[in-house]
Amino acid sequence: MSSGPRVLVIDDEIQIRRFLRISLEANHYEVYEVGNGLEGISRAAQLRPDLIILDMGLPDIDGLEVLRRLREWTTTPTIILSVRDADEDKVAALDSGADDYLTKPFSLEELMARMRVAQRHAQPGPQPTVFTCGNVSIDLAHRQVTKNGEQVRLTPTEYALLRQLVQHAGRVLTHKQILKEVWGPEYMEETHYLRVYFAQLRQKLEDDPSLPGLILTEPGVGYRLATD
């Protein structure tokens, strides 16, 4: 078995588990699998995996409950892999602590890319203070944003939004998460704020605001900052 990162797959579909095992082991992951939620929680405690892939529709307890129980004691990166594609399901999972959410059927390449992002986010040690994507650079230590080497002037609210995305680069932040962090819990329903301010940010940072490549929208769910 590979000595690479440990991945625990919690999914009741044997075919999905077999596909993930073969595919991930071929890419140097060490894969463990279980078919129900309670066993998944127990195995997670025993194995202390580097990443968890979790289905929402499990035979004993719902995947969302599994996620909530996991988050009581671990911050292990967890990616939801589910046939449920409703916005409310995605938002509920992300708000409950999931690092990402993919719907079935899925692309193995996209899953592995999101796994890499989740693993990078979880790595210990000092975090870089400068984030660069294409021609845009954000220096968190000095609160400076540049595009093509030229300083971009942002309002305090625009910068606060951008900083939130940078601190969770590659991960989806839900509307409520962003509103709570930037404006406060009493503003968690004011999603029109986000449309206005993200439009302003895109005007200042994107080469083509109508086709954003830096600040990405997850329709009905939230926003994500590109990582390359």
Q: Rounded to whole angstroms, how far apart are CA atoms 114 and 99?
A: 9
Q: Rounded to whole angstroms, how far apart are CA atoms 176 and 189?
A: 7
Give the lowest-confidence range in 18-22, 50-54, 104-108: 104-108
Query: Domains in the chain and their CATH numbers?
Result: 6-122 (3.40.50.2300), 130-225 (1.10.10.10)
CA dist 157 → 198, 201, 228 (Å): 10, 10, 24
pLDDT at 141 over 80: no
Question: What are the tokens at 138?
Answer: 């954000």
- Bridge partners for 51 per DSSP: 7
pLDDT at 40 over 90: yes
Task: Fill in the DSSP letter of residue 126.
Answer: P
Burial of residue 72, with CB atoms counted within 10 A of its CB: 0-12 exposed, 13-18 middle, 19 or more buried: exposed
Q: Mean pLDDT of all residues in the chain?
A: 91
In degrees and rounded to multiples of 5, residue 32 shows phi and psi of: -125, 150
**pTM of this prediction exceeds 0.85:** no
Q: 151 falls in which pLDDT band (50, 70, 90)?
A: very high
